[in-house]
Each structure stands twice: as structure tokens, then as C-alpha cells.
Amino acid sequence: MAIFDYKAKDLEGASVVGAVEAPSENVALDVLKEKDLVVISVKERKRITLFQSSFGFLRRVPRKDVVLFARQLAVMISATVPIVQALRILVKQTDNINFKIIISEIADEVDGGAKLSATLARYPTVFSNFFVHMIRSGETTGKLDETLNYLADQQEKDYDLISKIRGAMIYPAFVLGGMIIVGVAMMIFVIPNLTQVIEESGGELPASTKLLIGTSSFLQQWWWTLVVVAVGTAVLSRVYTRTEGGKRQFDSLKVRLPVFGQIFQKIHLVRFSRSLATLITSGIPVTRALEIVADVVGNITYHDLTLATIKEIEAGNSIATAFVKSKDIPPMLPQMMVVGEQTGKLDLVLEKLANFYTKELENMITNLTSLIEPVILVLMGVAVAIMVMAILLPMYNLSQSIAFFGLFRLLA
């Protein structure tokens, strides 16, 4: 159905602006007349073009803003503020201009008779499938404020976890990036001036010096090819990972990497456990909750495992059947899920698992960060040592030759 923006006046003559969802303009007019509104104008909202959708990343809303939105909306609904009025207040309180526009559109549609969950579903880049279904559950049970509070808590935990991981990786990434930039700059601008004297000496150069001179000459003449190759590789990788086969291979590779694979695995397990626990607590059936989690978990490997679990449950088997067979799932997860299923406390067990894997993930990130720092220092030391040897060794040989030649002339 289409969305129609309208301008109208109510029975008291006050101007009313909003949006209504309807299959046609005539139906939209009928809906507005039923609300005792005198319609001034009705205009169908334009659909998003392919160009606009391609550059949708420019309108992304930070996760932190979504968490704050859920928390503030929950507080106002708990205070018996009408939902449309609460959304209008949030429009004024939001700093992000893109999110401000989205909330304003949501308020218009809800004011036009649409459900909040259905309206949020129109913005999948901002509100996840998990978020929408939680809101729908709150609308069904009549506990929207409690659902929003619970949802905000879970979103905050997810946001804090991602923030800690990014924060831990900033320092190593900054140091490595700086080291590469300084190294390339020296190769292009500094090393040629130093090696020019060595080359003019005409003596036999060590292998390290030849390698340094060759690398410097290549970067001076062909630096742009490295840029083209790097950009081309990034673009091709991006395109390939967007295909089903490419995404499947990339997701499978991520959880099997030597060191970082365990980190990615824990991230997906935390997301799976916490999301499933939240949905079950909200009264959503297990099979439906698993369908939602399959889209939320963010990895094809675990997506397929979750869908396979649904089939096992429908066949009358345990919820942990598919997980037991997988090599990408630690044994503790299916064993604990079986315990939760047998005791009827699956949601509590999953929440405990989410907290456990979160703590384990934080420890892994801390240990990895502590390990990366000395590794970076060693790499920097080795690089500097090779560069110094490549420059100083031939200079030392050259000075020895000059000294020997001078001594020979004195003796002669």
C-alpha cells in the first residue's frame, strides 16, 4: 500500500498535517473523512529511487541514537503520554537530522492510523527485524513500555559490546596504519637521497641494500598501481561478498580464522543467545523467535544452523539437535540449551549464556590487545633494523675503502 501525506482541518478549525496508509487516494480520503477531518490536500509519497537506495549508507542512523530513542519512548509511554505526542517530542529532542526526519514520518503514519511496529518495519536500515518484532509483541500484550525498556537494555548491551571491541582495535589499527604511511613516505622521499651516494660509489652492494633500492624505485614510479590494486581489491571483495556464495564463504572463513575466528564466533553466539532469550521472554513462540534470530545473528553459518533448528523442533526433536552436530558451536551451548528446555527455563539459561560469552569475549579482546602491542613494537624494530642495515652497512664499507685507499697512498 502507498503512503499519502495530507493537510486538513479538524472540527475546531485547527490545521492538521500527517500521513495515512491506503491502497489509493480515494481510500485515503475516506479514512480521513471518517476521522472528521476536512481535507485540504492529499499527495502520495514518492517511493525511494534506485539511486537513493544505493547511497542509503549516507543516511545511516547510529545505533546509540536508536537505543536512546527506545529508552526515551519507554519513559514517556510509562508516563501515559500518547504515543503520537511522544514521537513529536522525540523529533524535537533528536540531533541527528536523518533520524529526526524518520521519527517525524513515523509520527505522521501512526497518527494516520498505522501501528508503530508496521511503521518501524519501513525503515529496516534503522530498526532491525528483531526490534520490530519486539515492538509488535509489546503492542499485542499491551505492555509496550515494558517491552521498550527491555529492548533498550538489550540494545545497550549489544552497543556496549561492539564499542568495546572497536575501542580495543583502534590503537593497533592506528599504529599499523601510521607505520605503513611513514614507511611508504620514507621509501619515496627519503631513501632515494640516501642511496644515491651508495649507488655512485660503484662498489658491490649487500642484498638488503639492493632490495631497499629496488623497493624505493618501484614505489617512486609505480605507487599509483598499488593504490589501484588496493581500491580494486576492496571493490571486488565488496561485490563478491554481497553475492550468496561469496557471503557464505566469507562468513565461514571469519569463524575459522586462527585468532580472530574465536572473537567472531563469540560475537555471533552472544547475539544469538541474547536475542533468543529476549524474544522468548516476550512470549513469542520458539519457532517464530528462531526465525527472527536467524536474520539478526549476522552470519550465514549460524543463520543456517538456526533454520535447521526450526526443522528439528517441528520434527519433534530437541532444540539443541542441530547445534550438537556443528563444529562451529562450542559444546557448552547445546548442553545448556537442553537443560533449559527440560526445566522450562530456556530464556534464563540463554541469558546466562549471553552473559558468559560476553565476559569471555571481553577477556579475549583484552588479551589480544595486550599481545598486539609488543608484536607491533617487534615489527617496527625489525623494519627499522633492516632499513638501518641496508643503509649503514654499505656506507661503512665505503668509508673503510676510502680509509684503506688513503692509507695506501700515504705508504706509497
Q: What is the pLDDT of residues 155-169, one digit of tens each?
A: 787 777 777 777 777
Tell me which of 18-27, 37-46, 128-137, 297-306 is least confident.
Answer: 18-27
- The answer to whether 58 and 148 have CB atoms below 8 angstroms apart is no
* Average predicted confidence (pLDDT) for the chain: 80
State the cell numbers at 63.
545505533
pLDDT tens sequence across 64-78: 888 889 889 888 988
Of 84 and 188, more confident: 84
pLDDT-derived band at 200, boundaries 50, 70, 90: low
Of 235 and 27, more confident: 235
What's the farthest any 2 CA atoms get from each other in the chain?
A: 119
pLDDT-derived band at 399, boundaries 50, 70, 90: low
Q: Which helix (H) or strand (E) holds 375?
A: helix 346-411
pLDDT-derived band at 198, boundaries 50, 70, 90: low
What pLDDT score does 108 carry?
Answer: 84
The top-scoring range by mean pLDDT among 18-27, 158-167, 201-210, 257-266 is 257-266
State the cell numbers at 94.
533528536
Report the C-alpha gap between 74 and 136 in whole angstroms: 14
Domains of the chain, with CATH numbers? 1-47 (3.10.20), 170-412 (1.20.81.30)
Tell me which of 44-53, 178-187, 196-205, 326-335 is least confident.
Answer: 44-53
- The answer to whether 304 and 322 have CB atoms below 8 angstroms apart is no
- Report whether pLDDT(291) > 60: yes
State the cell numbers at 321.
539437535
Q: How many residues comprise the chain? A: 412
What pLDDT score does 348 carry?
Answer: 92
- The answer to whether 8 and 39 have CB atoms below 8 angstroms apart is yes
Report the C-alpha gap between 96 and 214 in whole angstroms: 51
Helices (H) and strands (E) in the chain, counts: 17, 3
